[in-house]
Amino acid sequence: MDARSLSLTLKRLRLACKHWRDPSLIRISRAGDPFRVLVSTLLSLRTRDEVMEEAAERVLALADNPRNMLKIPLGKLEKAIYPVAFFRNKRRSLSALCRKLVKENDGKVPDTLEGLLELPGVGRKTANLTLILGFGKMGICVDTHVHRIANRWNLVQTRIPDETEMALRDSLPKRYWKEFNELLVAFGQNCCKPVSPFCSECPVEEFCSKRGVVGNR
């Protein structure tokens, strides 16, 4: 995909997104609280959007900062997280993360990629999304949607999301970095599905290489 095609593709997706439901993390981020974004992103891994959103609401209703989160009985916190995927592991990560924030960072969420990656359970996706949505800073967040679609467009040729992030850091103009995840997640949830995407309804079908697409609707 050349620079002109990419520009037109993202322009069309911005228009299309006005008619699609915002991804849950975008709605959660509107509160302007990095801790809410961090907790919600941690819960979102391998979990459907609507399941994560309901769990995040339950958890953050119990405590909206690291110090108060540590006061919640572990069983109660685990129950609030369920049925999120790997809920027991995520409860342990959340507790360890909060202890580290309180002990080493005065309860505040770090605003650097390096600082975020030092937190228990936080990988590059969670760190980048917290930077972008929690602090309004520059980053490229690559989840399953971004990885899949960037490869379908032949914008990158990568095997795993971390490789996709590094490839996009080299090739994607910085003016697109912050919005890239939001646009492609909404696109992936509503149109460019993992299996049998809705190519007949796609607003950017003419620019897509359909790399790896076996069947479509």
pLDDT of 21 above 90: no
Please give the tally of structural domains in the chain: 2
Task: Indicate if 37 and 130 belong to the same structural domain.
Answer: yes
pLDDT in tens, 95-107: 999 999 999 999 9
pLDDT in tens, 144-187: 999 999 999 999 999 999 999 999 999 999 999 999 999 999 99
Query: Mean pLDDT for the chain?
Result: 94
Task: Indicate if 118 and 159 belong to the same structural domain.
Answer: no
Task: Indicate if 43 and 130 belong to the same structural domain.
Answer: yes
How far apart, in whole angstroms, are the C-alpha atoms of residue 164 and residue 154?
Answer: 11
Task: Indicate if 113 and 189 belong to the same structural domain.
Answer: no
Q: What is the CATH number of the domain that holds 15?
A: 1.10.1670.10
How far apart, in whole angstroms, are the C-alpha atoms of residue 194 and residue 190?
Answer: 11
Residue 157 lies in a domain: yes
Task: Indicate if 173 and 150 belong to the same structural domain.
Answer: yes
Crossing angle (nearest 10°) for helices 34-44 and 49-62: 130
pLDDT tier for residue 1 given thresholds of 50, 70 and 90: confident
pLDDT tier for residue 3 given thresholds of 50, 70 and 90: confident
How far apart, in whole angstroms, are the C-alpha atoms of residue 201 and residue 186?
Answer: 14
Confidence (pLDDT) at 168: 97
Confidence (pLDDT) at 214: 87
Q: What is the CATH number of the domain that holds 64?
A: 1.10.340.30
Task: Indicate if 35 and 75 belong to the same structural domain.
Answer: yes
Domain encompassing residue 130:
31-135
For tokens 């709605």, the residue is: 27
Which of 112, 135, 158 is the last residue before a domain boundary?
135
Task: Indicate if 77 and 39 belong to the same structural domain.
Answer: yes
Which of 114, 135, 156 is the last residue before a domain boundary?
135
Task: Indicate if 107 and 179 belong to the same structural domain.
Answer: no
pLDDT in tens, 100-128: 999 999 999 999 999 999 999 999 999 99
Task: Indicate if 77 and 166 belong to the same structural domain.
Answer: no
Tokens of 37: 């974004």
Residue 215 lies in a domain: no
| Between 215 and 193, residue with greater pLDDT | 193
Task: Indicate if 146 and 198 belong to the same structural domain.
Answer: yes
Q: Would you say the pTM of this structure is higher than 0.85?
A: yes
How far apart, in whole angstroms, are the C-alpha atoms of residue 40 and residue 60?
Answer: 9
The Cα-based distances of 20 to 25, 116, 156 in angstroms read: 14, 30, 26
The stretch 21-44 carries a mean pLDDT of 92
